[in-house]
Amino acid sequence: MPDAPPASGRLKKSTGAFERSFHGIYQTTPGGEFITANPATAATLLRKVRAVLDT
């Protein structure tokens, strides 16, 4: 059985998937504050803010 990749390799792989995802992925605190958000989440939120400001 092959050895598992080092932890740093697994982290890089999962971070890349997080950053390149077309779906919004984020973490929040129990109070609703963002901890992390990928670019897709940020783009979605920006579009919604712009739509509200344009009304």
Per-residue pLDDT of the chain (55 residues; tens, 9 = 90+): 556 556 666 656 666 776 777 788 899 999 999 998 888 999 999 999 999 999 7
pTM: 0.60
Instruction: Output the pLDDT for position 30.
Output: 97
Q: Using an 8 Å Cβ cutoff, are 40 and 21 in contact?
A: yes
d(CA 33, CA 27): 9
Instruction: Output the pLDDT for position 9.
Output: 63
Instruction: Output the pLDDT for position 51.
Output: 92
Q: How many CB atoms lie within 10 A of CB 43?
A: 13
Instruction: Output the pLDDT for position 17.
Output: 74
